Structure 1
Amino acid sequence: MDPKENTAVAEIPSYFICPISMQIMRDPITVCTSITYDRESMEKWIYSCGKNTCPATMQVMPNYNMTPNYTLRRLIQGWCLANSSKGVQPIPTPKPPIDSNQVNKLLQDFESCSPFQLINGLKKLRSLADESEANRRCIAVCGGDSALISVIEMNTVEMESGCYQCPMACDEALGILYKLPMADETAETLSRSKTLKPISWILKKGSCNGRFYSAMLLKTVSSSGQKILQQLVVNADDDLIEGLLQLLTEEVCLQATTSSLEILMAICSPSRKNRIKAIEAGAIYILIELLPESQRMNCEKMLCLLDILCECAEGRATTIDHAMGIASISKKIFRVSQVATEKAIRILWSLCKFSPTPRLLNEMVQIGAVYKLCVLLQLECTSKTKQKAREMLRAHGKYWTISPCVPSYSLGIYGQY
């Protein structure tokens, strides 16, 4: 039984409970305000939530020193042992946080060691990073991010021939790097062409783990700031875009799919050149074929990316030419969320305004998209979305009303708009 669920079998003394998580403390520590918390909860409060106050007193903390409370830890462990007959399991003694000397020793060994020793050293570093937020911050402060980037660059030689010097080392380095706190300097380095190229290549042709870690890492980079994003947009190459689309097609996992969509939106939105690259790599065909079975969150992102790609003529032409294009987009109106409806309407508006081919107009009637436009005007939605629906009906209403596919009871509706 998990000690966090001990309340079901025994009454836990109140001073064993962490004021942040309201669960029994596994590793009690005392901060500078003399209040005791669980180490993991306090690290999340400070580093993940960005707080600088004591949760109980709301005093600003002059430092983030955490002193282990050994007396309380022994009391908690003794209580668990005394209540073992009631199903309470003992809490193991936590490992102490690493210090900079341990990290520096590991990082120095990376510079001059065999591939086998390098992989073992990276595995040790990864094990330490997995233990706690404090360990991850210590690794970052000691320059772990720079050392890991060097490992990736040095071990992705002869990329064009499809070879790594040490593929497992790259996977391990990426697996650590994406978990570390991302400093602006690190994000800027990762967005430069020299470093981005090997990561893009791994994203396209690397192992499953390496590609997943690369996507998670680039997602963090793309949200690190406008200046860094602009650099990433400029340096985005074919391998990066093709690798992201490949992850979408293979649907490795939900996280990888979400990250790929967010990176593609970030690099395509401000750059027509990247939009063209994505379209030529088959982005629109992939998105249209994934849309019918996509989950809500990713469906919204897919429609958002389609909207971005349809800002250029090549994207609109490809969407109209796809046999499922208009049907897949129209099907999401009213069925997913208000955001998805607004994005779908915006895409149809873009197609009707700039590429109103007879095929498009006929297909919109046949699949019921025109009828949905009329229904939309009678429902609650944003004024911009209603305005786009009105514009489509005004521009093409006469053409649609003569179609035999339009229900007779709807003929009067078009004239109102």
Structure 2
Amino acid sequence: MPPMSPMSGNLASFRFADVSNSTTLGATRLTAAEAFSILSQLALASRRGERSLCRKSAATVRALASASDRNRRRLAASGAACVLAAAFRGFSRGGGSESFDILCGILSSLVLVFSFEDEEVLSDLGSPESLDSIVLILRCGDSSERRNAALVLKEIFSFDGDLARAAARVEGLIEELVGLIRDPISPRCAKAALLAVFHLMVSADEWMAARLVRMDMVRLVLESLVDSESDKRMSEVALAAFGRLCSFEPGRKKAYENALTMPVLVKKMFGVSDLATEHVVYSLWVLCKNWQGGEEEGRGGGCVGDALQLGAFLKLLMLLQVECREGVRERATDLLKHMYEYEHGVGCIDNEDFKGLRLPI
């Protein structure tokens, strides 16, 4: 083991004292040797099942990571996520309820040193026993503990689609996340749960999508898009999730029934990001191409007529005049042709719209 720095004595003096003393920690510049020592102690305590020592070690990691970005990066580079994930899995065995406080403490440290590119971290946190413990925290933790659990799930779901689909089968997981969205205990907790569910939707297969639709997620996604005007990342993930639900018939049915669908999609086509534009074009394409009705609730052309009335045709024409991925261009062109065929009786397309168009449709 590399020699300890002269600061090691100072570190030892507060390691298991009042780790919330930000004045002391703010002056602490963690070295690689010190990080190694703390994490080694945490790993050993976890393997031995020493609850008190593990709790104190995790609290030390949390306090140091919170003290400065430099400390956080040092701990992350030293493998803190792997050690904490292994400890979380270890104390989850035999039922997380017996070690609830320790598990909450470990998770609150873990969210500060995320490193989910490591397969070991994913393997430990995605294990059945760990996921059961995360569900328990979602159900019984306080606001910050539930938010941490949702953030961990969001990271897992965004990185590994297969693991997301497997996790969705864990009893109570989806229900607890959706419950945090419907009845939020804090804005930060609700946002974390929303992102976790949205990433789960992106990976959804048919059975999971149908389940999420039954839980009214189409409406919740659309309402979140209305509320996420200044949050680019939230809008991108929500639009990706919405498009995935619309890939399946139950999701499209709910989208057709919701009066917000077309206004939200048309508005979000521009002004968010290129990625958001791609998701919007896909959702419009899959909804309009699969629309089978002629009249819906007295509206001529149903969702296609709504899109035309809201100016989608002109926006798609504008999209063809700028650089975009070939797949997006092909969908936009196909959608324009489809809308033009549906235009009869709606009266939203004028030949003037085609003036100056560089590319034929």
- Structure 2 length normalisation: TM-score? 0.71
CA deviation profile, 1:90-132 (whole Å, cap 9, x unmatched) = x94656725267436754785466xxx9866653453356563
CA distance in 2, matches of 1:185, 1:393: 47
CA RMSD of aligned residues (A): 3.9
CA distance in 2, matches of 1:400, 1:176: 57
What stretches of structure 2 of length at least 5 have no aligned partner? 8-25, 295-301
Is residue 285 of structure 1 aligned with residue 219 of structure 2? yes
Change (3 A) 1:169 1:95: same
Letter in 2 for 1:313: E
CA distance in 2, matches of 1:362, 1:141: 51
Please say which of residues 193-202 and 320-329 is displaced more in the overlay. 193-202
Residue number in structure 1 paired with 2:12 = none
Residue number in structure 2 paired with 1:367 = 310
Residue number in structure 1 paired with 2:134 = 199
Residue number in structure 2 paired with 1:236 = 168
- Is the 1:148–1:177 contact (alpha carbons within 8 Å) kept by the matching residues of 2? no
- Is the 2:46–2:87 contact (alpha carbons within 8 Å) kept by the matching residues of 1? yes
Change (3 A) 1:107 1:401: same
Is residue 176 of structure 1 aligned with residue 109 of structure 2? yes
CA deviation profile, 1:305-350 (whole Å, cap 9, x unmatched) = 1111111111111111111111111111222222222211111111
- Structure index of larger Rg: 1
CA deviation profile, 1:123-145 (whole Å, cap 9, x unmatched) = 34533565635556768599553
State how 1:302-341 maps to structure 2 within 5 Å. Answer: 302-341=238-277
CA distance in 2, matches of 1:399, 1:223: 38
Residue number in structure 2 paired with 1:221 = 156
- Is the 1:204–1:240 contact (alpha carbons within 8 Å) kept by the matching residues of 2? no
Residue number in structure 2 paired with 1:384 = 327
Please say which of residues 145-154 and 101-110 is displaced more in the overlay. 101-110
Please say which of residues 235-244 and 98-107 is displaced more in the overlay. 98-107
- Is the 2:150–2:189 contact (alpha carbons within 8 Å) kept by the matching residues of 1? no
Counterpart secondary structure, 1:252: helix
- Is the 1:279–1:309 contact (alpha carbons within 8 Å) kept by the matching residues of 2? yes
- Structure with greater proportional helix content: 2
C-alpha deviation, 1:174, in angstroms = 1.2
- Is the 1:155–1:169 contact (alpha carbons within 8 Å) kept by the matching residues of 2? no
Question: Whose RCO is larger (CA < 8 A, sep 6+)?
Answer: 2
Counterpart secondary structure, 2:281: helix
CA distance in 2, matches of 1:118, 1:189: 17
Please say which of residues 307-316 and 387-396 is displaced more in the overlay. 387-396
C-alpha deviation, 1:287, in angstroms = 0.9
C-alpha deviation, 1:402, in angstroms = 2.7
- Structure 1 length normalisation: TM-score? 0.63
State how 1:391-410 maps to structure 2 within 5 Å. Answer: 391-406=334-349, 409-410=352-353
CA distance in 2, matches of 1:112, 1:385: 54
Change (3 A) 1:405 1:193: same
CA distance in 1, matches of 2:51, 2:279: 53
- Is the 2:165–2:200 contact (alpha carbons within 8 Å) kept by the matching residues of 1? no
- Percent identity between matched residues is 22
State how 1:63-102 maps to structure 2 within 5 Å. Answer: 68=5, 92=27, 94=29, 97=34, 99=37, 102=41
Aligned length: 318
CA distance in 2, matches of 1:124, 1:379: 52
